[in-house]
Structure 1
Amino acid sequence: MIEYRNLRVALLGGGSVGAQVARLLLEQREELANRVGAGLELVGIAVRDVDAERTVDLPRELFTTDAESLILGADVVIELIGGIEPARTYILQAINSGADVVTANKALLALHGPELFAAADQVGAQLNYEAAVAGAIPIVRPLRDSLAGDKVNRILGIVNGTTNFILDRMDADGDTLEEALATATALGYAEADPTADIEGYDAAQKAALLASLAFHTTVPLESVYREGITRVTPQQIESARKAGYVIKLLAICERLTDAATGQEGVSARVYPAFVSRSHPLAAVHGANNAVFVEAEAAGPLMFYGAGAGGVETASAVLGDLVSLARRHVVGGPGFAASSHADLPVLPIDRVTTRYAITLEVTDEPGVLATIAGVFSNRGVSLALVEQSMTPEVSASAGQELVPSTATLVIGTHAATEAALAATVTDLAANSVVTTVASVLRVEGA
């Protein structure tokens, strides 16, 4: 028998995720109450327009435009309106009024996470954000709780479903990026303005959150190196396939030792990369997400599932809600933000990685030796060189003879990003190189 009073839940936002959270709260209230040990009473849903069309049929009397009144009367506030303001102000109001908070707002946490966590710590409130990183995939609690006694060394994540769908279509169906994006938009995987996805901003926000959590260090969003997928071509996709790779947009978070100082630091970065087809991440298709964690004691761990979607993301939100509600019933302090390590965030040029470089070069004696010398001068060793020829084109009347060229696909051994980037610059300036056609990193091997 439940003896604890009902816990009042205020919901900010009635969009696709918010509507599903409200539906599940109403439909499963009895089961949720049994799990928590107290009833969860949805006291209201704050929206901009109470008369707007909803994806779910919900009682109209729940809707209000007065978010502040809802917040002040709640035990738990669920923020699903997105953006920076007024979400930041509402969360601070909730925390300062003594309420716990659940949010799926990755952009806000990536920019203002330290401020919000500090405010929650000061009053003993809880701020949960499982749905902010990878939708329905449970990754925040495993990193925060299950691996709390371990040392996480590296995370490779496919954390944006839109870009994974696009790259998967380009690989499986031979689409151009534009064709795959049009399909993603038609299916609802891409927004009308896909910039945040295809330019890597969304993945960078998630990388900042994952790195901060995994390494117990505040990793500011501006410290996350970012490249999107807009320069990925069908030719690169085909080159990857021939070499036994697939191209994925990866969020990479790892511990590093700075070769210059010997000091331990961390890196967080987002870019498209070659991933071996034998790696588990290569098998992540469609709009799905996956996070591959390498821990010192636990070894490799894989978390896979839907990274977006209204009802899928609502599952993660409700998981956070149940966790917070149980704390209300049994008592005890909330989980404080773990940032005790305070490791420096190293710039991209300190990272060690591998490159896959495609060059167009003149077909003449000594070219391979010249190219090898460019790599050697920067201390970069070659792992693979593949060559294909473009035949010489005969001159017709009034036209010059077009000399034959060769295409070189070069894979490097591991080297610092600084050395690899300098090598590419040297190659572009070398007289035997007509074009640096493609440069992509190789990860996950």
Structure 2
Amino acid sequence: MAEPTASAAQTAPAPARDALRVALLGGGTVGSQAARILTEDAAVLADRVGVRLELTGIAVRDTAAVRDWQADPSLYTTDAEALVDGADLVIELMGGIEPARSLIRRALQVGTSVVTGNKALLAEHGEELYRLASETGAQLSFEAAVAGAIPILRPLRDSLSGDTVNRVMGIANGTTNFILDRMDTEGASFADALAEAQRLGYAEADPTADVGGFDAAAKAAILATLAFGSSYTLDQVSVEGITEVTAEDNAAAADAGYVIKLLAIAERDTARDGTAGAILRVHPTLIPREHPLGSVRGAYNAVFVEAENAGQLMFYGPGAGGAPTASAVMGDAVAIGQRIVRGGPARLRTPVAALPALDVSEARTSCMVVLRVADQPGVLRRVAGVFEEHGVSIETLRQVQGADDAAGASLRLITHRARQRDLDDVVAELTTLDAVHEVASVLRVEGN
């Protein structure tokens, strides 16, 4: 595909016009709702932008397909390149890497600004696209890429730009939160909760990206990039999904006053050798029920931000769905439209620090460890000795006798914060003790 050549940066006031031509790439759940808003709310949007946002076309694979909201049939086209070439603003809601990446590059190379909700693309190729936008004076906006309708990226980029963000921790995937909530409140199995999520449209037929943690990991990379002013990619995020979470894990969590959530965490830290950096991780996590994140139910999302001066902030709302996500898309579109009409430079992401990604083994966290052990004298001493040997202190320890523990007992330990590598070493050595029949569960603990 021949790509157009770049033009000069669009920083001067645009010539007088009565409309901005908007190309919409993708007519799925979110794309259909974006088209509806552009059509039904055209007068309101024109008042806010200063000119009409004219939807010139919707690029789709099948022009005859039935959609959630049906636009004028003449708007649907399979010629995405021609649509991009004739646009003042491109909204990309196709998803995936290609052809989305090539089409966004095509727009940015000639100074056409882009709104996208494509978290996977940004997590893998964001730096390339940011650089291209900076070179041509185009704007690349992506509020819809993280947490649906929740306005979290603009606060990180703008409102907190005069502060130092130390940590971002959140429920960034509505599908997994719905599943874990059903497992916690109704005692549902993972399989049954997933099936219900699929029936209700929260989960795809292939839910791997959600339940495997990869969707949340892409969002973690984007959040960290904005929060810390450096560039991070998906492969720098440690990822664990929720497929191994059991009913027994939920029961143990509830008994200890916790609830299990899949958390995306990005935090500043210092490695054991003194290197300052950031640790990015996604995994099932025990959160105290009284913590703000502990009360997030159903398919909702929430992001908890800890900043040096602002303190603790929480952003909460619908994390998915056509209309909520389209709301975030249109917020970006209006902001870009106002800039084009009034003139002035684009609002760009400009990294100001080189904060390397540290290995997850450097993370400092707590763990709940559940052991099946022989019910005999000296076992507690031997188990506690393993923790002490590796410099990990135990905060609480409880022995639980269950119906199927006739030949032994269950120990439930919660540690103080320690390096992940030390916790891993503890678990590895526990498996070698003849008094330990099984390490039944290991879950991280946050929010204490």
Matching residue's letter, 2:56:
V
Q: Which residue of 1 aligns with 2:301?
A: 289
SS at match of 1:57: coil
Alignment correspondent of 1:322: 334
1:317 maps to amino acid? V
Structure 1 residues 64-108: Cα deviation after superposition (integer angstroms, max 9, x where no partner): 111111111101000011100000000000111221000000000
Listed as ranges, the matches of 1:265-280 within 5 Å are 265-280=277-292
Matched with 1:404 is 407
In 2: Cα distance, 1:388 partner to 1:96 partner: 63
- Structure 1: runs of 5+ lacking an equivalent: 394-402
- Asked if 1:420 corresponds to 2:423, the answer is yes
Match runs of 1:45-444 below 5 Å: 45-260=58-273, 262-389=274-401, 404-444=407-447
Q: Distance in 2 between matches of 1:225 and 1:251?
A: 10
Question: Which residue type is aligned with residue 356 of structure 1?
Answer: M
The one-letter code sitting in structure 2 at the alignment partner of 1:51 is A
Distance 1:392 1:98, change over 3 A: closer
SS in 2 for 1:429: coil
Distance across 2 between alignment mates of 1:431 and 1:317: 57
Rounded to whole Å, the distance in 1 between the matches of 2:227 and 2:394 is: 33
* 8 Å CA contact 2:268, 2:279 repeated in 1: yes
SS in 2 for 1:286: coil
Determine the C-alpha separation between the residues in 2 that align with 1:70 and 1:390: 65
Q: Deviations over 1:391-416 (max 9, x none)?
A: 799xxxxxxxxx73010000001100
Q: Counterpart of 1:311 in structure 2: which amino acid?
A: A
Q: What number of residue pairs does the alignment pair up?
A: 434
Structure 1 residues 383 and 25, CA gap change in structure 2 (3 angstroms):
same
Q: How far did 1:259 drift?
A: 2.3
Query: Deviation per CA, 1:148-205, whole angstroms, max 9, x where unpaired?
Result: 0011011111000000000000000000101100111111111000000000010000
Q: 1:33 aligns with which of 41, 46, 54?
A: 46
CA distance in structure 2 between the partners assigned to 1:75 and 1:275 by the alignment:
46
Matched-pair contact (CA < 8 Å) for 2:110–2:136: no
Give the aligned partner of residue 10 of structure 2. none
How far apart, in 2, do the equivalents of 1:14 and 1:306 lie? Answer: 21
CA distance in 2, matches of 1:327, 1:391: 67
- 8 Å Cα contact 1:130/1:316 also seen in 2: yes
What SS does the aligned partner of 2:216 have? helix
Structure 2, gaps ≥5 residues long: 1-15
The 2-side partners of 1:280 and 1:380 are apart by 28
Letter in 2 for 1:432: A
Cα distance change on mapping 1:391 and 1:365 into 2, 3 Å: farther
CA distance in 1, matches of 2:127, 2:102: 14
Please tell me whether the aligned partners of residues 226 and 271 of structure 1 are also in contact (alpha carbons under 8 angstroms): yes
TM-score (norm 2): 0.95
Corresponding residue of 2:6: none
Name the aligned partner's letter for residue 362 of structure 1: A
